[in-house]
Structure 1
């Protein structure tokens, strides 16, 4: 049996943070409460899949006290990672050899995006920075309206940035110049975290803390259609939290899946926002689609596999309930999730059974693992970066 520590809950007058092992603290006055979810103790499993470490290294000071969502990014054979103090590192994904490292003047607060020869990231003071993938040199720097937590998202021409004040800013990918901005209305209390927008060439799909999903025309930033995914209910501001913090999932055939806190999982027709089906569940994480299976990690850390066509449950695993799981990743037929005690878990995707487990680092795992084929890259909260191979 594994001993677990209890999460604690803290509130502020403006933003409510949810961390891997706790409801994260915020600046300003806060009061402690009882655990939001009681972590399930780990029990022995019949491990049929191995997780073998290929290499590991340290990335500076890790996610920092605020547990910034510094998800690494992989592009081809290179893996890019950062710490909260501004260290950015490029590594050979196969060997772990450092290709380059730079220290920025800005503290990094967002996940990384790596595409077409550049690495994009955001900072606590609202800087958005583009680095050259080959040597880490700064290509341009732009300023948006507030702190950036979501990884900037690129399409052919634009870099779409969602900041914590509810604004979407479209920057020119080549120069960093502002093309347009869109502003939403935020409630008085929100989760600490913002949805990562989904950007394609014609439009951007963006979720907000008011429970609304908006589709924006990338030529002008004007909304094309909107859908209320979660409706505030309850007597207190905490009860009425309905943030959309997971990235919308878009399929090649035009289906859009979106999750919400205290709300619903919805399947929509992407062109018009027409509802296809919905499920009442609470999730802060982006869903994952593999074939006709839609995988969702709920806020109480149940792992669900749903039929992507109609939302029916195919299986549900409660063995990791309350363990503050990351969003799911997929590697060689297995789901991969990390937890607040630093364990990495593998679930058989067709059946939902736990088939593998290893501990990466006691500091915990908050950000989603990055996978490529049967390779898993995991960044722990203290900056430990480990690459593992999944094998029978």
Structure 2
């Protein structure tokens, strides 16, 4: 089920007819993209379970996007009620567990001995990676669904009211706030900002991508990635709910709902190429390929230089796959029925599959080499290794 959000903090959960509208159009109330049945394939990769556990009560009825995070040899995971746990990533041994006073709503970010998380009541917390103790907590303007993002000095937080806030990583003190305009109706979710030391790239529900100066929060350039079109408010949704991807040579890739996948020159925002693909998800860049999961659950490989489509796999259509992850030459996706799929990154063929949990998978798996950590909607956390 997908949820859209009114900017006046009113939320509306849509039923099957509206879900079909969000997929593109509707036909007698039935979704356009009927989930495809899984079929046999040439299995050349297997997924071997290493360890599993359950973290709290899962992501709740709203399926908050509480994706786990890994830093070095430690894996961090949480649930919607405020349970946070740390595990040895290799054997699953629990290192610590804490119960926070606030319900969690964002993915986790683990970096430089700190663990950052956002909450439903608009707080951002910094935890010590060693024992889970709270180093600081700061209130921002509204609920936080996107994982807070850190550079060397600042923690950048995007909240559901269109605000981006820079906090001091050491103290949580507010440095600056940038406000964007929201359309009346938006998807349930926000873009995840991408921050480097000098600037932050942030995508918004109005279809615009903005580069902010981290010294003061002032915009340096602004680009319209997706243009609203259509008669209804649903047709005109153009949210940028993924995270931009930046290359070392200064190219920026961004996806949009009901819009385009676009490559930009990062310093000035000039468009290098654009391709009509609707995607709410963060893409993955590996070598010269940009991998995109579309809203129809097609997996598309694009040439990163030109935007040319290299291959497309439609076998998972309508299965509400997660954003892609990359592990040892394979693309990794979870789906609504709790299956984990492996695709060969070279040609897009399915090469492996296993079922993790029938509760379904809605957050992007975490990968390290050939190891995959995946958390199901009910809190089931499992670590698997690709073989061979």
> TM class by shorter-chain length?
over 0.9
RMSD (Å), alpha carbons? 1.7
What's 1:316 paired with?
Answer: 312
How far does residue 313 in structure 1 lie from its aligned partner after superposition?
Answer: 1.1
How far does residue 368 in structure 1 lie from its aligned partner after superposition?
Answer: 0.1
- Tell me, yes or no, if the aligned pair for 1:330 and 1:336 is still in contact at 8 Å: yes
What's 1:296 paired with?
Answer: 292
Please give the secondary structure, in 1, of the residue aligned with 2:231: coil
- Tell me, yes or no, if the aligned pair for 2:74 and 2:86 is still in contact at 8 Å: yes
What's 2:131 paired with?
Answer: 135
What's 1:247 paired with?
Answer: 243
- Tell me, yes or no, if the aligned pair for 2:4 and 2:14 is still in contact at 8 Å: no
- 1:216-239 Cα offsets, whole Å, 9 max, x none, are 000000000000000000111000
- Tell me, yes or no, if the aligned pair for 1:47 and 1:356 is still in contact at 8 Å: yes
What's 2:353 paired with?
Answer: 357
> Using a 3 Å threshold, how does the CA distance of structure 1 residues 10 and 213 change in structure 2: closer, same or farther?
closer
Equivalents in 1 of 2:216, 2:33: separation in Å? 43
Equivalents in 2 of 1:352, 1:17: separation in Å? 34
Q: Is 2:326 aligned against 1:330?
A: yes
Q: Is 2:84 aligned against 1:53?
A: no
Equivalent of 1:187, from 183, 188, 191?
A: 183
What's 1:103 paired with?
Answer: 99
Q: Is 2:237 aligned against 1:238?
A: no
- Superposition pairs for residues 1-392 of structure 1, below 5 Å? 14-15=10-11, 23=19, 33-35=29-31, 37-392=33-388
- 1:159-207 Cα offsets, whole Å, 9 max, x none, are 0000000000000000000000000000000000001000000000000
- Tell me, yes or no, if the aligned pair for 2:4 and 2:187 is still in contact at 8 Å: no
- 1:135-156 Cα offsets, whole Å, 9 max, x none, are 0010000000100000000001
- 1:356-381 Cα offsets, whole Å, 9 max, x none, are 00000000000000000000000000
> Using a 3 Å threshold, how does the CA distance of structure 1 residues 198 and 284 change in structure 2: closer, same or farther?
same
> Using a 3 Å threshold, how does the CA distance of structure 1 residues 58 and 134 change in structure 2: closer, same or farther?
same
If the length of structure 2 is used for normalisation, what is the TM-score? 0.94
Aligned length: 376
For structure 1, list consecutive stretches of 5 or more residues without a partner in the other structure. Answer: 1-7, 25-31
For structure 2, list consecutive stretches of 5 or more residues without a partner in the other structure. Answer: 21-27
Equivalents in 2 of 1:334, 1:11: separation in Å? 32
How far does residue 46 in structure 1 lie from its aligned partner after superposition?
Answer: 1.2
- Tell me, yes or no, if the aligned pair for 2:3 and 2:188 is still in contact at 8 Å: no
Please give the secondary structure, in 1, of the residue aligned with 2:167: strand
How far does residue 92 in structure 1 lie from its aligned partner after superposition?
Answer: 0.3
- 1:315-359 Cα offsets, whole Å, 9 max, x none, are 100000110000000011000000000000000000110000000
- Tell me, yes or no, if the aligned pair for 2:167 and 2:175 is still in contact at 8 Å: yes
> Using a 3 Å threshold, how does the CA distance of structure 1 residues 289 and 148 change in structure 2: closer, same or farther?
same
- Tell me, yes or no, if the aligned pair for 2:257 and 2:279 is still in contact at 8 Å: yes
If the length of structure 1 is used for normalisation, what is the TM-score? 0.93
Equivalents in 2 of 1:274, 1:16: separation in Å? 36
Please list every run of at least 4 consecutive aligned residues from structure 1 whose deviation after the TM superposition is greater than 4 angstroms. Answer: 8-19
> Using a 3 Å threshold, how does the CA distance of structure 1 residues 359 and 155 change in structure 2: closer, same or farther?
same
- Tell me, yes or no, if the aligned pair for 2:3 and 2:14 is still in contact at 8 Å: no
